[in-house]
């Protein structure tokens, strides 16, 4: 399998090669060269003056028992931690000026410098060949290049430039099942049959949440955030119908707030999207009565009025980076204490510098006190499990980022079993962090030589935890959907539980959990229920490859992580960690 080499620059004609992709990712097609005069926005990520300071700071404030545990940074303090040197800033600004970029066309925002250039100038200054691509489903049009370079004296100061070689790769979560009419809902739902379908009541009982009626007058602190991409947006009417049928305690108590991160759009014509509705409905039901905010990021560079490429400024950047730059600079009062994300894509072929930058930026949210929860994926060991040198597991990013809490899936109850399509495995980009070394090493010892050579035995293991993933009742387009499945259901379930814990901690005058993985794998280990049965079978569920499987075992495993949460135990342990 081809590996990207971390932070390695290669000499080439025209400077140092910053990144190169061998082929256009599946799902995108080249549609021609843009006009040389087409203007678009690019952003340069500067290397911090002290690159390890963020990692060290995050480790200290996230490790129970450390003197700085829970002492999160405000927006000003974070900017200081990631601030580039004056030398780096001046070198990049001079590069822009020397390249003919007008002073009015660039602006510095701490460790990022944004600038607008026409295609001809961008090609020349980065030895690139920017081309127009269309997403195969028609979602959008973008400008990208398959390689770019920077002069030697500039490259040493730069992490990455975007958008360049990174194509949007978020995968829509799989949703096997059929839509039932409202009449069918009345005939088939059985609140007590949680082995067949999942409702909020099933989850609240399974994960030991208090009766909703006992929480109605509870004061709340902060809010839970839900990240939305891929032109998916929840609908208020769907939420209202869901609360009346499945979570009446939410009626007139929790009303999700919708925020457009990168520009307001007209949502009056949207009738809802299954993924967005699922995320909001279950985060609200599990996190009740904590408020919910849905952060929508559009990101794709198409002018929706006339499908033109003549105005791409601010509309063609990468989705995660748009969202992260928005969130990390929010004041404490506006920042969510918990964030749930149900999207991702294969690590394979991902630009290494991009992956590390995005992961560090999720770490920046952790340093601000935000707990970031990611769905691990819905394709078992991988989408294809193939590389240049034979079969290989296919880990999903950003779930593999060590600074997020990755959530796998389970099915059935009494006992819970690992979900058959729950993704997990070992990162090919990120090394295994110290806080999970013992747990993952124990699993690898039991795995032995089976699947040898198909995964990175020293990589970050994922997921970290898990929750139910099969057959959730969701209301979408004013219809009840009985079989919405995937870790995209597990993630908002866990986010709601963690959000309720974070709200209680803040209300008690304590800090929220923030980046919680060191906490989970140590003092909070007893707050998670073992899942030691079942597993994910085959690559892309291909039965002709039955040996390509990952099984749940006692302790950590790459399907269910350390297990499913017990809210009461998690809350009790979290309260005890801070004076």
Question: What is the C-alpha to C-alpha distance for residues 429 and 560, in angstroms, rounded to an integer?
Answer: 21
Q: Is 403 helix (H, G, I), strand (E, B) or coil?
A: coil
* 360 is annotated as an active-site residue: no
Which pLDDT does position 374 carry in this prediction? 98
| Sign of the torsion angle spanned by Cα atoms 348, 354, 360, 361 | negative
Asked if 187 contacts 545 with a C-beta cutoff of 8 angstroms, the reply is no
Average pLDDT over residues 180-189: 38
Q: Which of 340, 376, 406, 488 is flagged as catalytic?
A: 488
Q: What local confidence, expressed as pLDDT, does residue 267 receive?
A: 55
- For 437-493, the pLDDT digits (tens) are 999 999 999 999 988 888 999 999 999 999 999 999 999 999 998 778 999 999 999
Q: What is the pLDDT of residue 482?
A: 76
Q: Give the β-pairing of 338-341 and 371-375.
A: parallel
pLDDT band at 390 (very low <50, low <70, confident <90, very high): low
Strand bridging mode 141-144 / 131-135? antiparallel
Model pTM above 0.75: yes
Q: What is the pLDDT of residue 274?
A: 81
Residue-wise pLDDT for 4-13, tens only, equals 333 333 334 4
Number of domains forming the structure of the chain: 2
Which residue is catalytic, options 111, 118, 123, 275? 275
Instruction: For residue 379, give the CATH number of its domain.
Output: 3.40.50.200
Q: Give pLDDT, residue 325.
A: 96
Whether 488 is a known active-site residue: answer yes
Q: Which of 162, 191, 214 delimits the end of a domain?
A: 162
Report whether pLDDT(431) > 70: yes
Both 191 and 151 in a single domain? no
Contacts (Cβ under 8 Å, ≥6 apart) of 579? none
Examine the domain organization and report whether 42 and 151 are in the same domain: yes
- Answer whether residue 528 is part of any domain: no
In a domain, 301, yes or no: yes
As a whole number of angstroms, the distance between CA 431 and CA 250 comes to 42
Q: pLDDT class for 2, splitting at 50, 70, 90?
A: very low
Task: Judge if 356 and 465 occupy the same domain.
Answer: yes
Question: pLDDT by residue (tens digit) across 115-172?
Answer: 999 999 999 999 999 999 988 877 678 899 999 999 999 999 999 999 999 987 665 5
Q: Are 394 and 385 in contact (CB under 8 A)?
A: yes
Residue 30 lies in a domain: yes
Give pLDDT, residue 416: 95
pLDDT score recorded for residue 317: 64
H or E element: which one contains 504?
A: helix 487-507
Residue 268 has pLDDT above 60, yes or no: no
Q: 298-308: per-residue pLDDT in tens?
A: 765 544 344 44
Average pLDDT over residues 492-507: 98
Is residue 443 in some structural domain? yes
Domain assignment present for residue 152? The answer is yes
Q: Which are the contacts of 519, defined by CB distance < 8 A and separation ≥ 6?
A: 62, 63, 64, 513, 574, 577
Q: Which one is predicted more confidently, 467 or 270? A: 467
Q: Are residues 141 and 242 in the same domain?
A: no
Catalytic residue among 111, 118, 162, 279: 279
530 is a domain residue: no
Residues 130 and 242 placed together within one structural domain of the fold: no
State which of 162, 187, 206 marks the end of a domain.
162
Q: How confident is the model at residue 58 (pLDDT cuts 50, 70, 90)?
A: very high
Residues 452 and 326 in one domain: yes
Please tell me whether residue 258 adopts helix, strand or coil conformation.
strand
- Residue 551: the pLDDT is 86
> Which of 44-53, 475-484, 533-542 has the highest mean predicted lDDT (pLDDT)?
44-53
In a domain, 74, yes or no: no
Residues 299, 347, single domain; the answer is yes
Per-residue pLDDT at 310: 42
Domain that holds residue 423: 179-512+542-576
Domain boundary among 162, 191, 217: 162
Classify burial at 292, counting beta carbons within 10 Å of its beta carbon; exposed 0-12, middle 13-18, buried 19 or more: buried
3-state class (DSSP) for residue 55: helix
What mean pLDDT, rounded, does the chain reach? 87
Residues 242 and 197 in one domain: yes
Mean pLDDT of the 327-335 span: 96
Question: What's the pLDDT score for residue 179?
Answer: 28
Q: Is the pLDDT of residue 384 over 50?
A: yes
- Do 199 and 153 fall into the same domain? no
Asked if 336 and 249 sit in the same domain, the reply is yes
Given a cut of 70, is residue 543 above it in pLDDT?
no
Residues 192 and 154 grouped into a single domain: no
Q: Which pLDDT band, with edges at 50, 70 and 90, does 502 fall under?
A: very high
Q: Is 428 a catalytic residue?
A: no
Looking at the fold, whether 366 and 310 belong to one and the same domain comes out as: yes
For residue 67, tell me if it sits in a domain. no
Which of 92-106, 179-193, 213-227 is predicted least confidently? 179-193
Answer whether residue 239 shows pLDDT above 60. Answer: yes
pLDDT for 381: 73
Distance (Å, whole) CA 157 – CA 325: 19
Report the pLDDT value the prediction gives residue 484, as an integer from 0 to 100.
87
């Amino acid at each position: 399998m081809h590996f990207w080499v971390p932070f390695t620059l290669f000499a080439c004609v025209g400077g140092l090669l910053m990144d190169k992709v061998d082929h256009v990712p599946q799902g995108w097609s080249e549609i021609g060269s843009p006009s040389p005069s087409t203007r678009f926005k690019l952003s340069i990520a500067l290397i911090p003056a002290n690159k390890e300071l963020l990692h060290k700071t995050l480790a200290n404030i996230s490790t129970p028992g450390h003197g700085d545990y829970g002492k999160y940074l405000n927006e000003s303090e974070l900017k200081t931690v990631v601030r580039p040197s004056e030398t780096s800033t001046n070198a990049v600004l001079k590069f822009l000026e020397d390249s003919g970029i007008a002073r009015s066309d660039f602006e510095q925002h701490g460790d990022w410098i944004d600038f607008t250039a026409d295609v001809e100038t961008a090609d020349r200054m980065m030895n690139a060949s920017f081309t127009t691509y269309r997403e195969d489903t028609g979602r959008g049009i973008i400008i990208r290049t398959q390689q770019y370079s920077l002069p030697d004296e500039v490259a040493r100061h730069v992490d990455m430039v975007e958008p360049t070689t990174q194509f949007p790769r978020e995968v829509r979560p799989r949703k096997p099942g059929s839509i039932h009419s409202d009449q069918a809902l009345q005939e088939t739902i059985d609140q007590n049959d949680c082995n067949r379908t999942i409702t909020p009541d099933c989850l609240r009982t399974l994960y030991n949440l208090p009766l909703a009626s006992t929480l109605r007058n509870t004061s709340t602190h902060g809010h839970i955030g839900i990240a939305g991409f891929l032109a998916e947006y929840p609908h208020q009417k769907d939420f209202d119908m869901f609360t009346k049928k499945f979570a009446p305690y939410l009626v007139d108590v929790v009303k999700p707030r919708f925020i457009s991160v990168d520009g307001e759009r007209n949502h009056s014509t949207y009738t809802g999207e299954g993924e967005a509705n699922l995320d909001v409905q279950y985060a609200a039901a599990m996190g009740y009565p904590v408020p919910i905010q849905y952060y929508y990021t559009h990101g794709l560079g198409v002018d929706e009025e006339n499908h033109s490429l003549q105005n791409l400024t601010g509309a063609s950047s990468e989705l995660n980076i748009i969202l992260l730059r928005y969130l990390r600079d929010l004041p404490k009062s506006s920042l969510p204490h918990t964030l749930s994300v149900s999207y991702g894509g294969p690590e394979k072929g991902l630009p290494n510098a991009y992956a590390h930058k995005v992961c560090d930026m999720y770490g920046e949210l952790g340093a601000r006190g935000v707990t970031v929860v990611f769905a691990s994926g819905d394709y078992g060991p991988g989408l294809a499990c193939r590389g240049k040198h034979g079969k290989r597991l296919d880990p999903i990013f950003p779930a593999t980022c060590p600074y997020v809490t990755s959530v796998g899936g389970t099915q059935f109850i009494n006992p819970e079993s690992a979900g058959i399509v729950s993704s997990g495995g070992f990162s090919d980009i990120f090394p295994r962090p110290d806080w999970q070394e013992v747990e993952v090493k124990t699993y690898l010892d039991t795995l032995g030589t089976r699947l040898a050579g198909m995964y990175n035995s020293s990589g970050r293991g994922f997921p970290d935890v898990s929750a139910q993933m099969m057959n959730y009742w969701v209301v979408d387009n004013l219809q009840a959907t009985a079989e919405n499945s995937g870790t995209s259901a597990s993630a908002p379930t866990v986010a709601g539980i963690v959000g309720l814990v974070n709200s209680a901690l803040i209300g008690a005058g304590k800090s929220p959990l923030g980046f919680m993985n060191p906490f989970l794998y140590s003092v909070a280990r007893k707050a998670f229920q073992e899942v030691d049965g079942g597993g994910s079978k085959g690559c892309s569920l291909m039965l002709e490859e039955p040996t390509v499987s990952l099984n749940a075992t006692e302790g950590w495993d790459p399907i269910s992580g350390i297990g499913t949460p017990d809210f009461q135990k998690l809350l009790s342990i979290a309260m005890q960690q801070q004076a």
